[in-house]
Amino acid sequence: MIKALRDRTGAGIMDAKRALEESGGDMERAAAILRQQGLLRAEKKAGRATAQGVIDAYIHGGGRIGALIELNCETDFVARTEEFRQLAHDLAMQVAATSPRYVSPDEVPAEERARGAEEAGSEEAYVSRVALLAQPFIKDPSKTIGELIKEAIARFGENIRVRRFARFELGVDETGA
């Protein structure tokens, strides 16, 4: 059971064992316990420096839309893993598909939030459209990009952050015209 839980969650042996003991052998509850523990660990790592990472590109539509993203982590060891590179590629694909304008909801100016709330129906709906970390993940809409990154932080044991991104589309300037 420990091996199955580790394969499913990426948790360490002792963490998986403790979660199974705490849940009385219930695999679903044990996975939920590990997920919660991972999110708590991710919050603790949020202040750590992220000077390593990768820049990834995604090109879509026969070369009509492209996105570049810089995804940072703490060590080059993690940056070189296939799983980290796949995360960067998925995020570049997200940028190409959804055209966010900001990395984080905190970056959206207050006056733009107010205008956007009128247009989108609520401030939250507008922010989830223009801030990458607040957007639903295109491959799994049940979680946001922010949650996806927190899960990766828990798996890797390092702080991870999206530093910046750029999106290009043929015939469209920066204002969207």
The correct answer on CATH 3.30.479.20 for the domain covering 52-100+135-169 is yes
pTM, full prediction: 0.75
Amino acid found at 103: V
Amino acid found at 78: V
27-36, 81-90, 138-147: segment of lowest average pLDDT:
27-36
Going from N- to C-terminal start, the domains of the chain cover: 2-45, 52-100+135-169
Please check the confidence at residue 3 and state whether its pLDDT lies above 90: no
pLDDT at 158: 85
pLDDT at 139: 96
Question: Stretch 2-27: mean pLDDT, rounded?
Answer: 81
Instruction: Write the CATH number of the domain with boundaries 2-45.
Output: 1.10.8.10
- Long-range Cβ contacts of 94-97 (<8 Å, 24+ apart): 94/132, 94/135, 94/137, 94/138, 94/145, 95/58, 95/67, 95/69, 95/132, 95/165, 95/167, 96/58, 96/59, 96/60, 96/65, 96/66, 96/67, 96/167, 97/60, 97/138
Check: CB of residue 159 under 8 Å from CB of residue 73: yes
pLDDT at 177: 45
Angle at 83 between CA 80 and CA 86, to 5 degrees: 95
SS3 26: coil
Segment 76-91, tens digit of pLDDT:
999 999 999 999 999 9
State how far the Cα of 87 lies from the Cα of 100, in Å rounded to an integer. Answer: 17
Segment 36-61, tens digit of pLDDT:
776 656 566 656 667 899 999 999 97
Segment 91-121, tens digit of pLDDT:
999 999 999 999 999 999 999 999 998 988 8
